[in-house]
Amino acid sequence: MTATTDGSSGPRPPALPAGGPPGPLPAPPTAPGGQSAGPHPDSGTPDPGPPAPGPRDTPAAAERAAARAVRNLLGRQHDEGWWKGDLETNVTMDAEDLLLREFLGIGDRRTTEAAARFIRSRQCPDGTWATFHGGPGDLSATIEAYVALRLAGDAPAAPHMAAASAWVREHGGIAASRVFTRIWLALFGWWPWEQLPELPPEMIYLPKWFPLNIYDFGCWARQTIVPLTVVSALRPVRPAPFPLGELHPDPAAPRRAAATATGWDRVFRRLDRLLHAYRRVAPPPLRRAALRACARWIVERQENDGCWGGIQPPAVYSVIALHLLGYDLDHPVLRAGLDSLDRFAVWQDAPGPGGGPSRMVEACQSPVWDTCLATIALTDAGLPAGHPALVRAADWMLGEQVLRPGDWSVRRPGLPPGGWAFEFHNDNYPDTDDTAEVVLALRRTAHPDPERVDRAVRRAVRWTLGMQSADGAWGAFDADNTSAFPNRLPFCDFGEVIDPPSADVTAHVVEMLAAEGLAGDPRVRRAVAWLLAEQEPSGAWFGRWGVNHLYGTGSAVPALVAAGVPAEHPAIRRAVDWLNSVQNEDGGWGEDLRSYPDPEWIARGESTASQTGWALLALLAAGEEDGKAVERGIGWLARTQREDGSWDEPQFTGTGFPWDFSINYHLYRLVFPLTALGRYLTAVGRPPRTGPRDA
């Protein structure tokens, strides 16, 4: 995502008049042979349900839907108290996992074949791979998937492979792909290292006040960049198992032509040329010392379970970097790192003829996030606060509080810790978003040790307030991580590399602080003013971590109302008018990921359960429970619910990087509709109750 210093990602799209998307929505992609690349194999069969309920039976339909969803969600809880849905991204995770195994010489046939089945299942009819369900073909994803399938033994002349390579050539070939893709290819000699941006390991020594020091990057970016400086310095090449001439438009001249640059881009291209020149004269003792410093930095940030940052990309590059620096594969650090990567794999039976095991690699795992959202949903749906499932969840969340400093303390050195991270193990990088939602969840439970909860909440509130940025808002992982320079580097051509404040995170923090009785605190009032100023002319808010304006608006309106902004306030009324204007004809709401680069797609897309839930949460907070839009939205949820109490949602409604890296959180399709149903029933005077069969 290309971020701006005002906290948004990319250009702020203008308001879009009410009406349909630009032409018909694209059909869901299908795999070779006509198999759908849509719902995850565990999605089940949708229940068409009864006709849309009328005004009088809408509460009854909501009660039935909520009870079914409660039973489903309770059945998904782990014995230890947490919830975790699959976190689906795109096939580059699977392809890079196979490339890593090839580079390290640890590939095995079973893993390779299972990964290949999953990759094939996500190929689109035109031979490409997209980065989200129903999206357009992506050049880098297609190249990486193609190479992975060649590693698995798929012949270049096979129809699905020939279609992919032809599309790649038509779109510029390897030379037009992202830097990260070309780095993977350079590891095998398929692309020259000298044609890649230079990343000197000496940047580890840049002081924290100096532009482009590693702490100017978001936590996910710095954890990737530091090991990549090692890889860039050593430029390893493993023998390529096959050539890739078919991925170049002209195999005799595969190099990328220099792009025309202006302004700051020209400055940073010149800087890159200087760094290439520096490589030739870098003092060997300094280079060796910098590589050792990078190794120490990487090892110090390895989590207890062996991963780095709880996410796959930093773990992959950290393993490669340390191996290049002499750590053998049996070293405890690398052994733990490789074992952690195996835990990101989701195995299941492949659909369609032939079957066999299929292996999907998660980019990350989201147990803390899923658990706090599930707890909120269940309590809003009427589950008693002392229910054993909620007490187990609270116990588990309390045990996950981060009580030691991490990288965030570089900018807040005197701030005591107290946040929560997103993953099972990520003590280096707790975030304000998870922390806010965990506090809201804990306060909804009747834990048998209320003083323990109070202590944890006090620590969390103190830490969260200390992480407020200078503009009064909150980023996710760091305070004041707003430098515009990192995004200008030629290396950073894929995704967000900084962590500026965003409306959705700030809204969640404001909602939590208001619930803790701090709505009148000057720091909260500054955040409220910031949120009001961030509202789009249309009445919506931009969504940084969810798609997109529906997520931002569904976060901002409940927070503002909780902080004391009256439902009659012009900002709230504008948001209500906007939500009413973009409701789909079927009664739901949806927004395609193309709304990030293309304003014509704002709030346009197939209705989804999670996005319908977000819209309803905003409307209900604004006092619209008796409005036609809410009635139709609740009706859509009741009508489209599956027999098992969940909803089908192959669409990607979450983001890691807006547009560039999309996420399908498989629990979103359950927790957000359930939260909306519960709040609706409470608002219309039918507080949801759970009977013995729901408990």
pLDDT tens readout for residues 206-256: 999 898 899 999 988 899 999 999 999 999 999 999 999 999 997 766 665
DSSP lists the bridge partners of residue 365 as none
End-to-end CA distance of the chain: 43
Give the model's pLDDT for residue 32.
32
336 is written with which tokens?
A: 């733990």
Give the model's pLDDT for residue 654.
96
3-state DSSP assignment of residue 175 = helix
> Does the annotation mark 598 as catalytic?
no
d(CA 266, CA 278): 18
Q: Which residue in 138, 370, 431, 433 is the catalytic one?
A: 433
Q: Of the candidates 159, 177, 160, which has an alpha carbon nearest to the alpha carbon of residue 168?
A: 177
290 is written with which tokens?
A: 């910098």
Q: Of the candidates 145, 158, 141, which has an alpha carbon nearest to the alpha carbon of residue 115?
A: 145
Give the model's pLDDT for residue 29.
33
Give the model's pLDDT for residue 63.
96
Give the angle subtended at the CA of 615 by the CAs of 5 and 371, to the nearest 5°: 80
659 is written with which tokens?
A: 């547009």
Which residues have CB under 8 Å from 283's CB, separation 6+? Answer: none
Topology given in CATH for the domain delimited by 88-248+270-361: Glycosyltransferase (1.50.10)
Give the model's pLDDT for residue 276.
84
Phi, psi of 420 (to 5 degrees): -125, 150
Give the model's pLDDT for residue 147.
98
Please report how many Cα atoms fall inside a 13 Å half-sphere around the Cα of residue 683, on the Cβ side: 23
d(CA 50, CA 132): 31
3-state DSSP assignment of residue 233 = helix
Phi, psi of 3 (to 5 degrees): -95, 155
Give the model's pLDDT for residue 255.
63
Domain ranges of the chain: 50-85+366-683, 88-248+270-361
Q: Of the candidates 667, 107, 29, which has an alpha carbon nearest to the alpha carbon of residue 362?
A: 667
Give the model's pLDDT for residue 591.
98
Low-confidence ranges of the chain (pLDDT < 70): 1-56, 252-265, 268, 351-354, 488, 490-492, 690-695
List b or e across 212-222, with b for residues whose CB sees 16 or more CB atoms inside 10 angstroms: bbbbbbbbbbb
CB 35 within 8 A of CB 121: yes
Give the model's pLDDT for residue 24.
36
Give the model's pLDDT for residue 99.
97
Alpha helices in 582-657 (DSSP H): 609-621, 628-640
Give the model's pLDDT for residue 664.
96
CATH code for the part of the protein at 50-85+366-683: 1.50.10.20
d(CA 322, CA 326): 7
DSSP lists the bridge partners of residue 654 as 546, 663
d(CA 147, CA 666): 28
For 217, 264, 303, 393, the CA distances from 211, given in Å and listed in that order, are: 10, 14, 28, 43
269 is written with which tokens?
A: 């291209």
CB 168 within 8 A of CB 245: no
- Over the stretch 452-491, which tens digit does the pLDDT of each residue have? 999 999 999 999 999 999 999 999 999 999 988 877 676 6
